[in-house]
Amino acid sequence: MRKATLFLISIIALLFASCSSYKFHTTRVQDTDFAQFKTYAWLAPVDSLSKDYYNNNIARTNILNTANEELQARGLTYSKNDPDLLFRFIAVVNNKSKEVYANYYVGYGGPWGWYRPWGWGYGVYANNIPVGRERVRYGHIILEAIDRKTNQVIWQARGTSEVNNPEDAINSLPKVIAGIMNEYPVKIKK
């Protein structure tokens, strides 16, 4: 019994861990050896459509501090003088709409009313029927790496999530940046 309970708890924990509300996407120049880059610096953030969610000092500090920790854990060193890579971030918040779904049950039963569990009848159950649309805001944080020699973007990754209020969006930035940096071609050095 104890083993079954532990197994069930571990399966539930695994399911919750895999259900992240953040989605991460990446692209890169395929033939680039990212291990050759040893130093980096930051460009000014791109003027974005962040609707003041990420357009403040706290958000910038959360993004830069977490990104610096992640880059240094991958063996890169910050250098203002002649860096190999230039990083920049772009923050975008946009409005979209998404479908709203509902479940319906319609039933009819026996001769004395609409529903009798011991009587005759029928029922129709409809699962996930679209009933309308609702407006939601999605926040996107995009990190780009630019090869300083060629002045070309060689890596780009984006973290996307639904944002409901500015405070939660800003407080979750370290988690988003860490997820984005997991997409970087060089893994953390131990």
Report the relative pairing of strands 39-42 and 85-109 from DSSP bridges: parallel
DSSP conformation letters of 79-129: -SSS-SEEEEEEEEEEEEEEEEEEEEEEEEESTTSS--TTS-EEEEEEEEE
Average pLDDT of span 170-186: 93
**Which pLDDT band holds residue 36 (cuts at 50, 70, 90)?**
very high
Compute and round to an integer the Cα radius of gyration of the chain.
24
- pLDDT over threshold 70, residue 38: yes
Instruction: Tell me which CATH code domain 18-96+137-181 carries.
Output: 3.30.160.670
Interval 99-131: pLDDT, tens: 877 776 655 555 555 555 555 555 555 677 777
- pLDDT over threshold 90, residue 87: yes
The pTM of this model reads 0.71
Interval 46-72: pLDDT, tens: 766 656 678 888 989 999 999 999 999
Q: List where CATH 3.30.160.670 sits in the chain.
A: 18-96+137-181
- Could you give the CA distance from residue 74 to residue 68 in angstroms, rounded to a whole number? 10
3-state secondary structure of 21: coil
